Amino acid sequence: MLPALNRKPLVWAGVALVALALAAVPLVLAATVGQAWVRVVNLALLYVMLALGLNIVVGFAGLLDLGYIAFYAVGAYLYALLASPHFGLHLPFWITLPLGFLVAAFFGVLLGAPTLKLRGDYLAIVTLGFGEIIRIFLNNLNAPVNITNGPQGINLVDPLKLGGFSFSTRETILGVDFSGPQKYYYALLALTLAIIVLNVRLQDSRIGRAWEAIREDEIAARSMGINTRNIKLLAFAMGASFGGLAGGLFASIQGFISPESFSVLESIMVLSMVVLGGMGNIAGVILGAVLLTGLPEVIRFTVVPAQQALFGKVIVDPEAIRMLLFGLALILVMLFRPAGIWPATLRKREFAR
């Protein structure tokens, strides 16, 4: 073991190394496998935010939420409505993104309030219903007054812009050529890191411990003086707010959103990331999100060439194989690591019994 005094510079060196590696990711990817992969990494960062938000509700507080994508939808639509030609509004992101954060939190409380009494799977089905209600409204609110533009969705959503600096256009900074997705990567990375720090701090806080107490035994938690109602609502609100933020970013990056992006299947996908990675463990959840975003893409890029190499032509629908392998991966990982790939230490202890 190194003496304590000498350890500090080493820690900083490590941090610097990780920062350098993270900063190099989009440049290396673009140089080796192409710009498409920078987009995949951006998507993965969005899913990391979503998974961390859902982890607060499911992993920390133990409330099974099957309609989480609704908050993503709220954030995305709020951003798109306030910054697109649809209403002719073009508010800057420092208004729209925080607003999405707050409104999503409000929706979180709106969902949480009537469901406080419900337990386990009853809660699951109500949250699922809530998610569907939001999606159906988004799909149908084009008549009698056109608010969401219905199934066609909203087009030409403004990209992130800071003064004259737009995140969507290609430009050369300090002699290095940066594409739109590459610039977005840094914005997403900064926000993701902020959310990670916030989550780590939350987990070890009084609130984090209260969530854990409710998850383990609600009645015992209440008799220890925890205000279970407020603490549960707080979990819903905080989880939802990260979803809302990610939604706003999604709208700005894609430039187009429609209700199709917010189906039950998406909620289930984010839940799979949380559980497969290791519910309640922040590092595990991040790993789960990155793996489950990356895996289908890797399969997508390999299935067609593999079939062509083997049979000389594409025999089986690549989309079907992609999802089939994805489903098999879910089953196999859970069979061999039922607590997730990287479980929280507490869960690991439970398993050792």
Partner 1 sequence: METLLQQLINGITLGSIYALVALGYTMVYGIIGLINFAHGELVMVGALTAVSVIQALMVAGLGLPPAAIMMAGLLVAIPLCMLLAYAMERVAYRPLRGAPRLAALITAIGVSIVLQNVAMMVWGRSYFSFPDVVSVTTYGIGGAVITDLQVLIVLLAAALMAGLLLIVHRTRLGLAMRATAENSAVASLMGVDANRVIVAAFLLGAALAAVAGLMVSAYYGIAHYYMGFMLGLKAFTAAVLGGIGNLGGAMLGGLLLGLIESLGAGYIGDFTGDVLGSNYQDVFAFFVLIIVLTIRPSGLLGERVSERA
Q: Which residues bind partner 1 (CB under 8 A)?
A: 58, 64, 114-115, 117-122, 124-126, 128-130, 132-133, 136-137, 139-140, 143-144, 216-219, 264-265, 268, 271-272, 275-276, 279, 316-317, 320-321, 323-324, 326-331, 334-335, 338-339, 347
Closer residue to partner 1 in complex, CB, 14/114: 114
Residue with smaller CB distance to partner 1, 58 or 189: 58
CB 43 → partner 1: shortest distance, Å? 19
- Give the residue from 201, 233, 228 showing the smallest Cα distance to 213: 228
> Rounded to an integer, what distance in angstroms lies between the CA atom of residue 21 and that of residue 23?
5
Rounded Cα gap, residues 85 and 219, in angstroms: 51
Shortest spacing between CB 347 and partner 1, in angstroms: 7
CB of 340 vs partner 1, minimal distance in Å = 8
Q: Which is nearer to partner 1, 198 or 314 (CB)?
A: 314
Q: Which is nearer to partner 1, 309 or 335 (CB)?
A: 335
Q: Cα–Cα distance between 273 and 263 in angstroms, integer?
A: 16
Q: Which is nearer to partner 1, 14 or 129 (CB)?
A: 129
Q: Are 273 and 47 in contact (CB under 8 A)?
A: yes
Closest distance of CB 126 from partner 1, Å: 6
First to last CA, the chain: 32
Measured CA to CA in angstroms, residue 187 lies from 141, 169, 300 at distances of 32, 14, 27
Closest CB to partner 1 among 91 and 295?
Answer: 295
Q: Are 335 and 270 in contact (CB under 8 A)?
A: no
From the CB of 254, what's the least distance to partner 1, in Å?
Answer: 24
Q: Which residues contact 157 (CB under 8 A, 6 or more apart)?
A: 79, 80, 83, 84, 251, 252, 254, 255, 256, 257
* Residue 44 beta carbon to partner 1: minimum distance, rounded to whole angstroms: 19
